[in-house]
């Protein structure tokens, strides 16, 4: 999922840099006064877990790489804006310290892995929980969480495919088949891990309430 330098042409990486920076600035401004001191250790712990999980990646023929995402997990626990900030911090450290993902394409990675992954997963999760109204939460919560996490990683991989095709790096069909195909499989693991963590925390009321609904 991490796009390396040289995979996007100038028009694409400059556009995504501006949009990605704007999105991150907006998220920081909106959440500046909403994070309490007691939440900071929890955010740091989940962020460290996501960072470690994302470091395990492998190349995908015709595209970039495949790995776990974690955006849905962060967004369910802390909201999509804080989730996006967490994902951005992870991506920035990976790019500058570990050279995992390019510098010029950092904005693109923020948008695809961070913004798309967080917003799609969170929107589906919230919609699913509202439709079920919290009934049978022992079954509904993990099911809705699994579907949301799976869709989030597939949507993020699809957005990477679109940027690669827009740049003319790889034909859309090849990029889409490789990225979405592999991440559809990876998404099963992502969904299971996310569902288990959310269900565990919801049951114990550690971060979120028993039905797993976080505002």
Predicted confidence at residue 205, as pLDDT, reads 64
Predicted confidence at residue 136, as pLDDT, reads 61
Residue 58 backbone phi and psi in degrees, to 5: -145, 150
Find the mean pLDDT for residues 115-129: 94
Contacts of 87 (CB under 8 A, 6+ apart): 50, 70, 71, 74, 110, 113, 114, 117, 118
User: Are 16 and 111 within 8 A, CB to CB?
Assistant: yes
Residue range 79-89, pLDDT digits in tens: 999 999 999 99
Residue range 62-101, pLDDT digits in tens: 556 677 889 999 999 999 999 999 999 999 999 999 888 8
User: Are 115 and 86 within 8 A, CB to CB?
Assistant: no
Q: HSE-up of 181 (CA within 13 Å, CB side)? A: 11
Most confident option among 64-68, 120-124, 136-140, 198-202:
120-124
Residue 57 clears pLDDT 50, i.e. is over it: yes
Q: Higher confidence at residue 39 or residue 137?
A: 39
Residue range 137-196, pLDDT digits in tens: 677 888 999 999 999 999 999 999 999 999 998 899 998 998 898 889 889 989 999 999
User: Are 77 and 46 within 8 A, CB to CB?
Assistant: yes
- Rounded to an integer, what distance in angstroms lies between the CA atom of residue 172 and that of residue 176? 6
Predicted confidence at residue 135, as pLDDT, reads 62
DSSP element (H, E) containing 119: helix 117-132
- Rounded to an integer, what distance in angstroms lies between the CA atom of residue 103 and that of residue 181? 26
pTM over 0.85: yes
Length of the chain in terms of residues written = 215
């Amino acid at each position: 999922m991490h796009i390396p330098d040289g995979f996007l042409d100038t028009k694409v990486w400059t556009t995504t840099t501006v949009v990605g920076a704007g999105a991150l600035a907006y998220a920081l401004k909106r959440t500046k006064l909403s994070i309490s001191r007691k939440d900071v250790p929890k955010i740091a712990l989940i962020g460290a877990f996501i960072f470690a999980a994302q470091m395990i990646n492998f190349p995908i023929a015709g595209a970039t790489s495949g790995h776990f995402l974690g955006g849905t997990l962060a967004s369910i626990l802390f909201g999509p804006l804080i989730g996006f900030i967490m994902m951005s911090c992870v991506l920035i450290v990976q790019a500058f310290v570990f050279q995992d993902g390019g510098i010029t394409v950092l904005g693109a990675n923020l948008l695809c892995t961070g913004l798309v992954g967080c917003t799609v997963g969170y929107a589906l999760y919230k919609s699913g929980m509202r439709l079920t109204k919290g009934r049978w939460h022992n079954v509904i919560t993990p099911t809705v969480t699994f579907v949301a996490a799976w869709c989030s990683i597939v949507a993020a991989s699809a957005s990477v495919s679109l940027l690669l095709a827009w740049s003319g790096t790889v034909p859309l069909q090849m990029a889409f088949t490789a990225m979405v195909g592999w991440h559809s499989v990876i998404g099963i693991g992502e969904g299971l891990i996310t569902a288990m963590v959310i269900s565990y925390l919801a049951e114990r009321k550690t971060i979120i309430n028993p039905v797993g609904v976080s505002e």
